[in-house]
Amino acid sequence: MAKQIATHTYEDAVSWLKDHGFDILEAPGVQNRVFVKKNNCSAAIEATPDGGVKIFAYPGVLIGGEISKLVNKGYQQFLKTTKTEVAATADHLKTLHQFTEELKEAIGATSLYNESLGTVSENYHYDRVKDREEPVTQRPKRPWEAKRTPKAKRA
């Protein structure tokens, strides 16, 4: 039987995070949004109109002061920022997973079975076909798509 998880208010979540060793930084120029940080991982949460709380910026490892995105390329997971991309180590993944689970507990979010098995990436790039994500009109022609020129007839 599924366990009902109590939803938390924004104030309750921020209080819980402070009590559990998270650093809280108010988002500049925005009301009811904070960045949370612990063990070199970070995320942002914000208040919802109904008084609840939700994740605004998905959790990631801090690289150069920026929250990285976890990208799975099938053969390796990477931490990607706007400036760099580094291979994710086992320590990165373990720390990020623990951070994410604690954050979910703080805000009263559901922790799904597949997520509890390990770290879940924000993006998956198993398909290594270049430019597949581009719109069809902008993709380069593949060799099998190019028009064939008719062969000259033999006399």
The pLDDT of residue 129 is above 90: no
User: Residue 11: what are its φ and ψ, rounded to 5°?
Assistant: -65, -40
* pLDDT of res. 91: 93
Please report, for the chain, the start and end positions of each structural domain, with discontinuous segments joined by +. 10-130
Spacing of C-alpha 91 from chain mean position:
17
Opening angle at CA 21, ends 16 and 26, nearest 5: 70
Opening angle at CA 125, ends 119 and 129, nearest 5: 165
pLDDT category of residue 120 using cuts at 50, 70 and 90: low
The pLDDT of residue 117 is above 70: no
**Cα(52)–Cα(136) distance, rounded to whole angstroms?**
41
pTM value is: 0.71
**Cα(17)–Cα(38) distance, rounded to whole angstroms?**
10
What percent of the chain is predicted at pLDDT more than 90? 41
Q: What is the mean pLDDT of residues 96-108?
A: 90
DSSP state of 146: S
Radius of gyration of the chain (CA): 22
